[in-house]
Amino acid sequence: MTDKFSNYEAGLTSPIETHSTVTPSETELLNVSRGIYVGVSGDLEVTDLDNNKVTYVGLAAGVYHPIRAKIIHATATTADNIIAGW
């Protein structure tokens, strides 16, 4: 398959290229996310690159949220069907 954009450098405003389903836990993701998709609305507890732990309350379902996170915690996360993209 031809990729017309293969010679372009990806940036934070570029479309997400790689995706991974996420089971919230206390371990780091494979990569720091550029965006997090929530399939079922709810709260999302994350740790960011500066090790700040925060809870996003009431995230909408069906969209990517521009959140850069290295951990998606299970403790306060009620959102479901989570996909991290980078």
- pLDDT tops 90 at residue 9: no
- pLDDT tops 90 at residue 6: no
Residue with tokens 């010679």: 7
Residue 71 banded pLDDT, cuts 50, 70, 90:
very high
Q: What is the CA radius of gyration of the chain?
A: 13
Residue-range domain boundaries for the chain: 19-85
pTM of the entire structure? 0.88
Instruction: Please give the Cα distance from 20 to 8 (Å, whole number).
Output: 23
- Name the least confident of 2-6, 30-34, 40-44, 61-65: 2-6
At 70, list the tokens.
């290295």
